[in-house]
Structure 1
Amino acid sequence: MRVITQSKWAKQAAFTLVEMVMVILILGIIVVGVSSFVIFGTRIFVESSAVDQVLSQSRFGVERMTREIRSALPNSTRLLTAADGSYQCIEFVPVTASTSYVNAPIAPAATSNILSAIVINQTILAGQWATIYPLTASEIYNPTGSTAKRFLISNVSTSGDQVDLTFGASIRFTEASPLKRLYLTAQPVSYCVENQPNGTSDLTRYANYGYQNSQPAPTAMANRVIMAQNIINSLLIEPAIILTPSSLVTNAIVHIEPRFSVNGESFKYQHQVQVINVP
């Protein structure tokens, strides 16, 4: 039997300088390759996350805007574009409920503080506005005197299949609706595309700022909520919102065309929303 001494084991376990350098070089190449792969994968993840975030925001903002405009009061949409192209705002009056009236004070009949309508499943509340036969934005946003198209409801009472709306004073509506339509509305809502200091624009929503005769600028409205960011439209050259007004035979059409930017690339929405012209 052959016996190997400790010194013999030590001699066999040793390695040369050349071998050590080769191992270091091989490990270095492996580390560089693995790190490049990890960095590349991380970059792809970060960029895809940024794209997904912008896509999610843009879808939510455009979809929310589309749904609200679709339920706007007929002839209530109006568009304001700043002369310097710093913002665009589309304003409309949201319909909370609609029904048919049974008895209503309508000119030239005498004034009254009560309107009777058919009960519906939708809730009618004090603080909403009753609107009959709205034909122009001026009639909707700027009612005058005791004879107008829109009045604030002060009390609601229901009896059987009839609901009585009480107003704070004796009033009468300017015109009767051919089909006796009655719209119950809330305060106006505005969606604005506003330029930001970083060179992009935000899609913002404003509400609860009240009815105003002239369409207000963003600085005159309250309850600002950002719906989407990274819009890059040059608003005077490539408007993000275009309004085709209604006529006697056509509905109003709101064209929603914001262009979004992310990671040096851009994509554009092209939505058309009809506002039914059935007062």
Structure 2
Amino acid sequence: MSPYESCPRGLPSPLFGGELGFTLLELVVVLVVLGIMAALTTGIILNPIRAYEDQARRAQLVAEADTALTRMVRELRHALPNSVRVAGGGQYLEFIPTVDGGRYRAAQDPNNAAIEDILDFTQSDSSFDVVGGLQTGQAQAGDAVVIYNTTATGPVTNAYRGDNREAITTVGSRIQLAAAKRFPHPSLIAQRFEVVPSSGPVTFYCNNGQLRRHTGYGYAVNQPTGFTGEGSLLAEHVSVCQMDYVAGNQERSGVVTLRLGLSDQGESITLLYQAHVINAP
């Protein structure tokens, strides 16, 4: 038979080298094998990628929580003695920051009585000399002087109530007060006075999964806890927030304990920081 003649049905044609292609069964087997290999390869490739993404997410949460807590601790270390208070089940922490301080003149030199200005605690006084200069030089008009703050809740020597706090109009070697004032009690430690900013108290609070810092709302006898979204955002994805304060005594400083937990896409971290707060007014 000539190679150009038709071959019987079902027999290979010598013209095309005897190739007939894959059968359906062979194609199915190949697809199954390829699927198994793809599944194995996908697991090998994706698992390290997922692990890296989870680790990166945890690292981001740790960095966010650490930044927020570090800022809180730094500010708390400069809090006015005995001004820290906690409310709302540990969700709201308030304190009065300080920006400066120094020593007031408590006694006159008989040879310089005409030019020296003491702070008189027996009557209202509107000015006093600063002995040795201000501590940081950051005090400015509009800030306030606080002397001998002993409590954040009591009726006397309480800067929140204002009986030991008065605004400043002139800053320098002599402090001029906005109004004549009789401070209730002199400082028992080196005639100390503190300067607090015109913005007033600061509150750190947790609400709706966020940690925020709020200030500028003014002084209040009772600690405010109604903030919802006001102030600067410090951290998001907050799942754990607990702030506690243990007041100090004559032998040790007060201690603020801050516990902050963040959660995002199945990853969670919790950090605990503590800050020592000076309680000697």
Does the CA-based 8 Å contact 1:142-1:213 persist in structure 2? yes
Identical residues among aligned pairs (%): 23
Q: Using the alignment, how far apart are the partners of 2:14 and 2:72 within structure 1? A: 84
Aligned pair in 2 of structure 1 residues 23, 8: CA closer, same or farther (>3 Å)? farther
Give the drift of 1:229.
Answer: 3.0
Give the drift of 1:53.
Answer: 2.1
RMSD: 3.0
Aligned pair in 2 of structure 1 residues 251, 166: CA closer, same or farther (>3 Å)? same
What is the SS of the residue equivalent to 1:17?
coil
Instruction: Choose between structure 1 and 2: higher strand proportion.
Output: 1
1:116 is aligned to 129
Q: TM-score, normalised by structure 1?
A: 0.76
Of stretches 259-268 and 168-177 in structure 1, the one that deviates more from structure 2 is: 259-268
Larger Rg: 2
Counterparts of residues 202-241 of structure 1 (less than 5 Å): 202-219=210-227, 223-233=230-240, 240-241=242-243
Give the drift of 1:39.
Answer: 3.3
Matched positions, count: 247
Counterparts of residues 4-83 of structure 1 (less than 5 Å): 11=17, 16-17=21-22, 21=27, 27-81=34-88
Residue 182 of structure 1, aligned match among 193, 214, 220: 193
Of stretches 59-68 and 29-38 in structure 1, the one that deviates more from structure 2 is: 29-38
Q: Using the alignment, how far apart are the partners of 1:92 and 1:131 within structure 2? A: 14
Q: Using the alignment, how far apart are the partners of 1:275 and 1:116 within structure 2? A: 28
Does the CA-based 8 Å contact 1:129-1:151 persist in structure 2? yes
Does the CA-based 8 Å contact 1:131-1:183 persist in structure 2? yes
Aligned pair in 2 of structure 1 residues 10, 136: CA closer, same or farther (>3 Å)? same
Q: Using the alignment, how far apart are the partners of 1:192 and 1:92 within structure 2? A: 12
2:141 is aligned to 126
Does the CA-based 8 Å contact 2:143-2:195 persist in structure 1? yes
Does the CA-based 8 Å contact 1:240-1:259 persist in structure 2? no
What is the SS of the residue equivalent to 1:191?
strand
Q: TM-score, normalised by structure 2?
A: 0.75
* Unaligned ranges ≥5, structure 2: 1-12, 106-116
Q: Using the alignment, how far apart are the partners of 1:259 and 1:31 within structure 2? A: 39
Alignment partner of 1:140 is 2:120: no
Residue 271 of structure 1, aligned match among 240, 257, 273: 273
Aligned pair in 2 of structure 1 residues 9, 167: CA closer, same or farther (>3 Å)? farther
Q: Using the alignment, how far apart are the partners of 2:272 and 2:175 within structure 1? A: 41
Alignment partner of 1:100 is 2:103: yes
Counterparts of residues 187-198 of structure 1 (less than 5 Å): 187-194=200-207, 196=208
Aligned pair in 2 of structure 1 residues 173, 20: CA closer, same or farther (>3 Å)? same
